[in-house]
Amino acid sequence: MPNTQECLIDFLASLPWKAEPTEWEKLQAKRHAINEIALKLGVSPRTVYRWSIKKQRPIGIPLLKLRYLMEDYGYYASEFAGLTQQIRSLGAIIARSGVDYNVVARKLGFSQSANLFRVLHGQCGLSARRQRIVEDLISEFIAQAQA
């Protein structure tokens, strides 16, 4: 199963082409896709390009946003495999809605926001108390979205 970065590389390689595209048309389509992805993730097109040629690895919030964006494009990144539905939902809210990551970390009582990343990446779990807080945050977000 591919990881998030490998999903990006495959996505860019498999852009829809007309019957016999020229190299110029392929390059233009790839640039357009890179620009669109960069805009959605809040990073520079150069950063996305560097990820696509494995000169850099996505990290932090851009990695989280990229993972869920690739899911929107029909990819399933290997990093999703160990996550509970609750954690996937929380990650999706942070990645797709613009909810402030640091605010979520504080509401969960993390002294360091990096601990929330560890949870969202499946490196550790949550206590029962924090799981209840996550449930409340998800419910709160759904209520706000429906209002």
Return d(Cα 44, Cα 49) in angstroms, integer: 9
Q: What is the pLDDT of residues 74-113, one digit of tens each?
A: 999 999 998 999 999 999 999 998 889 999 999 999 999 8
The CATH code that applies to domain 4-79 is: 1.10.260
The Cα 24–Cα 130 span in angstroms is 51
Residue 61 CA from chain centroid, whole number: 7
Domain boundaries, the chain: 4-79, 82-146
Tokens of residue 121, six digits: 């990446």
What are the distances in angstroms from CA 34 to CA 23, 52, 95, 142? 16, 9, 18, 31
Task: Dump pLDDT digits (tens) for 12-51.
Answer: 888 765 667 788 877 888 899 999 999 999 999 999 999 9
The distance from CA 104 to its chain's CA centroid, rounded to whole angstroms, is 16
